[in-house]
């Protein structure tokens, strides 16, 4: 996974210095991070957010941006677009740290500009490493869960609750069968398969959770699940399914 980095600092000299330090770090982590934007004005960042819709970005922000939008307000806007954003303030105004708590921007670090170059560099490097760690841990947890949206309602299920996911008769919709019911939601089966590695594809239109299999009849190629639902699987999946069941059991 590539982590996008966005920098906003109104002083062009300081912006270049921060970008240089991050670029030095990227020499050894070029496959993990990419500087997507280095901006001197907050409206450059808001435009980027509107047009790109980034996810899991790492944002280095000055607080006093000499603009109508300061760094704290910009962080709030970022949080609305990129929920899992990792926000790091690089500033001389460390006394404003309590305000970031009040505004609920959830910054992960405050890096003071007024320190030695070596210490400043190390704090930048540490912030990048910590940002990656937090994102990796979040994604690991998310992969153990199954989330989907029905109207304005967001459902977040433990993977043990998911029985199977199949295409719906409604175009671009899927149906998820759980231990308690069936839900129809907008989505693509290919994206669900890529995101959730606990699901196994038994046909072009169906993904199953092997943990919720009750029994399998290989002569009829039919699976019965713990909730009573039954599904056919393609003949080409027989060998993989047998191996998966042996591994599960």
CATH number of the structural domain spanning residue 159: 2.40.50.1020
Domain of 110 in residue numbering reads as 3-143
Q: How many other C-beta atoms lie within 10 A of the C-beta of residue 168?
A: 15
Same-domain status, 37 and 139? yes
Question: Is residue 176 located within the same domain as residue 118?
Answer: no
Co-location of 118 and 24 in the same domain: yes
Q: How far is CA 169 from the centre of its chain?
A: 29
Helix, strand, coil percentages, rounded to 5, for the chain: 40, 30, 30
Q: How far apart are CA 172 and CA 107, in angstroms?
A: 37
Rounded to whole angstroms, the Cα distance separating 178 from 162 reads 5
Q: Which long-range contacts (CB under 8 A, 24 or more apart) does 86-89 make?
A: 86/56, 86/57, 86/58, 86/59, 86/130, 86/131, 86/134, 86/135, 87/59, 87/61, 88/58, 88/59, 88/60, 88/61, 88/127, 88/131, 89/61, 89/62, 89/63
pLDDT at residue 3 in the model: 86
Phi–psi pair at 189, nearest 5 degrees: -60, -35
Note whether 145 and 196 are within 8 A (CB): no
Looking at the structure of the chain, the number of domains it has is 2
pLDDT attached to residue 75: 93
Give the per-residue pLDDT at 77.
94
pLDDT tens by residue, 97-133: 555 555 567 788 889 998 999 999 999 999 999 998 8
**CATH code assigned at 109:** 3.40.50.2300
Asked if residue 179 and residue 156 are part of one domain, the reply reads yes
| Co-location of 168 and 239 in the same domain | yes
pLDDT of residue 246: 78
Residues listed for the chain: 249
- Whole-model pTM: value is 0.60
User: 8 with 61, same domain?
Assistant: yes
At residue 150, the pLDDT reads: 84
Residue ranges of the chain with pLDDT lower than 70? 1, 93-104, 139-144, 248-249
Give the closest residue to 89 by CA, choosing from 115, 65, 53, 119.
65
DSSP-derived letter for residue 19 is: H
Say if residue 16 is in the same domain as residue 96.
yes
Which of residues 113, 143, 173 is at a domain's end? 143
pLDDT number for residue 1: 63
């Amino acid at each position: 996974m590539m982590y996008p980095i966005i920098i906003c600092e109104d002083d062009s000299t300081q912006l270049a210095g921060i970008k240089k330090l991050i670029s030095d770090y990227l020499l050894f982590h070029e496959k993990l991070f990419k500087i997507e934007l280095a901006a001197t004005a907050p409206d450059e960042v808001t435009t980027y957010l509107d047009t790109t819709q980034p996810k899991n970005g790492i944002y280095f922000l000055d607080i006093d941006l000499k603009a109508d939008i300061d760094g704290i307000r910009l962080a709030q806007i970022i949080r609305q677009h990129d929920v899992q954003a990792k926000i790091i303030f690089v500033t001389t105004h460390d006394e404003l740290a309590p305000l970031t708590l009040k505004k609920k921007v959830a910054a992960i670090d405050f890096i003071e500009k007024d320190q030695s170059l070596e210490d400043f560099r190390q704090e930048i490097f540490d912030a990048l490493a910590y940002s990656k760690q937090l994102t990796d841990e979040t994604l690991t947890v998310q992969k153990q869960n199954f989330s989907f949206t029905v109207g304005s309602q967001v459902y977040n299920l433990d993977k043990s609750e998911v029985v199977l996911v199949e295409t719906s008769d409604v175009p671009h919709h899927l149906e998820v069968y759980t231990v308690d019911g069936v839900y129809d939601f907008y989505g693509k089966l290919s994206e669900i398969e890529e995101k959730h590695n606990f699901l196994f594809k038994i046909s072009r239109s169906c993904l199953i959770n092997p943990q919720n299999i009750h029994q399998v009849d290989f002569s009829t190629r039919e699976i019965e699940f713990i909730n009573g639902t039954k599904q056919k699987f393609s003949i080409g999946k027989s060998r993989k399914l047998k191996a998966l069941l042996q591994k599960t059991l």
